[in-house]
Amino acid sequence: MAAMMTFDFQTFFIFSLFCLFSVLCYSLFFKKPKFGCDDLPPSPPSLPVIGHLHLILSSLAHKSFQKLSSKYGDFLHLRIFNVRIVLVSSASVAHEIFKVQDVNVSSRGHVAVDESLLLGSYSFLMAPYGDYWKFMKKLTVTKLLGPQALERSRGVRANELEKLYANLLDKAMNKESVDIGAEVMKLTHNSICKMMFGKSISEENGEADKMRSLITEGFGMTTKAFLSAVLRRPLEKFGISLFKKEIMSVSNRCEELMERVLVERETKLEEHHQGGDIINMLLTAYRDKNAEYNINRNHIKSVTMDLIGGGTDTLVHAIQWIMAELINNPKVLERLREEIDYVVGNTRLIQEADIPNLPYLQAVVKEGLRLHPSFPVVFRLFRRGCKVRGFNIPKSTLLVLNTYVVMRDPNVWEDPEEFNPERFLGGSSRSGQVEDEVRELKYLPFGGGRRACPGSNLAYIVLGTAIGMMVQCFDWRIDGDKVNMEEARGALTLSMAHPLKCTPIPRNPEPVLSFNLIVREEQRLTSARVREQQQETLGFTTRREELPVSVRPSQTDSRSESSSSSIRRDRNTLCSHCGRSGHEKKECWQLIGFPEWWTVDGQEQKSEWWTWKRWRSWWLQPCSWSWASQCSSCLKFQCMLTEVFYFVIWMMNTFSH
């Protein structure tokens, strides 16, 4: 009897534990959440516990959402564990949401405050709709990335574009294959860094390489960060934090790097007191106690990483996609080249001021972003319950907008899968004028509503000039007939599975580089020798082995050899003619002429180096100088008076003969 009672007690105890565990599992996972309403959007069949997670992870996120929308409709209700999701894959539904519910969906979504990338709780891009976001939005669109700020930094981007051209030309002369993504990364990263810090950090302690690797690693973990954010609430009940170690590792390294940069910047604040770069504006807002919102150091570091990350990797992917489409569509490439040749010509590089006069180039960029948006899926959060298309949307529902499908909606775009820039020139859209489509939020490469990307104007500028330069200056040869357009897996950003590699072929004639590039190359070589060798400064003379391959001389310049390293110079030597340091008056290029390796229209300079072409080429180059102040990069205001003098002498000699 005692043994039977013991057995019954053990059985009852095990059965009780089993029932308790079953009730717990049912309440956590199997029980449908109480949405407070039954009139929800249609939902595909789901599995217990995980809901529709298996349907989303079967392939690329935007492709999985596209399959669901094509099978079940363009407005769906999904569930991942107990997280509610509304999937929108229609331009008309997106237009209704952003037009009527814009404020309601002005928050990003379920982001783990202490576990997200790049100082998540301080991130401007991920911040919830509130006072901090409003303050940073106003600061960004008015001062950091506003029209005046972009105008001030135009020279920075022009300089980096010329460097990209020189690098590609060097590769072309050697008939080397070029990784477009790697070369363009230097352009975008250095441009953004100079806009942020007033300088390029690529030459100091390898910090640029560290920052680039962190940005690439961070964008590669976007899928993990998304899953960690979405699954945080159901998994935290069991004390599980998904991918916490990996995500926090990247976040901590970003914070350490930005802290070093910020400390260095603060120590040199008096030296760099121009106040023109973005970091100075942020520090000014940080020290302004009467500002609308008092930001701290973490805000500055996070906003800096937001701008650098959002302005580098995404633009690199976009340029690769657009160039791949142009190579696969030679007729479009030829028409674009004809427009650039007609408007810009072949005597200079394309400039930002040319973009408004190049409508087909603008159409090519917009069409590339339509087919290949950097972020094919946009996330928002319904802050309160509402009705959309007659369906009830509960509070705290996650909105997933598949912009990849929205911008391929056949009800809006004619032949949506075709690369057809003419649709943005007017007359190709089924709904009428293209500007109406843009205004009605059916073209969403940068998101929609008040949470749209604040750097869209900068993106159009960088994309236009980079694509325009590569089309203007080079033909492109690839292995095979077509570029592989397969999309990469493992990230929420849209990138190519195989890097775009092709061989540039210089066009004839080639555009003339500006005088600015000579001065910058001279300064770079001189500073590199001083920093690395701690020896003599050669000033304006150049070593043959350090010149770009594309501009090496056919024979040694006698003037360069006469001023060789046998004569030691003081690095503070000041030229009494042009006022620049590093050389004496007898070695000034403005008096003795340019070295032989510097060419105009592919012809080496002779003794009569000053010609009308030289004057016209130099005069037409973009520069930030004005009558009140001289340009800090090329000192053109100081040089101009001298060159005007030489121009007058040349005119007198010409007419005297």
Give me the phi and psi of 398, to 5 degrees please: -85, 125
List Cβ neighbours of 566 (8 Å cut-off, separation of 6 or more).
none
Q: Distance between CA 282 and CA 387 in Å, rounded?
A: 40
Q: Count Cβ atoms below 10 Å from residue 403 Cβ, excluding itself.
A: 26
Contacts 24+ apart (CB under 8 A), 121-128: 122/296, 122/298, 122/299, 122/301, 122/302, 122/303, 123/302, 123/303, 123/306, 124/299, 124/302, 124/303, 124/306, 125/306, 125/310
Q: Distance between CA 643 and CA 468 in Å, rounded?
A: 31
SS3 call for 338: helix
Q: Distance between CA 48 and CA 52 in Å, rounded?
A: 9
Cβ–Cβ < 8 Å for 402, 66: yes
Bond before 509 cis per omega within 30 degrees: yes
Amino acid at 287: R
Segments of 132-262 assigned E as strands: 178-179
Query: Any bridge partners for residue 107, and if so which?
Result: 381
Q: Count Cβ atoms below 10 Å from residue 186 Cβ, excluding itself.
A: 19
Residues within the annotated binding site?
453
- Choose among 198, 468, 453: nearest CA to 352: 468
227-248 in b/e form (b: 16+ CB < 10 A) is: bbbbbbebeeeeeebbbeeebe
Residues within the annotated binding site for heme?
453
Q: Distance between CA 161 and CA 152 in Å, rounded?
A: 16
Tally: H helices and E strands in the chain: 24, 11
Query: Vertex 300, ends 296 and 381: CA angle to 5°?
Result: 90
- Helix H or strand E encompassing 81: none
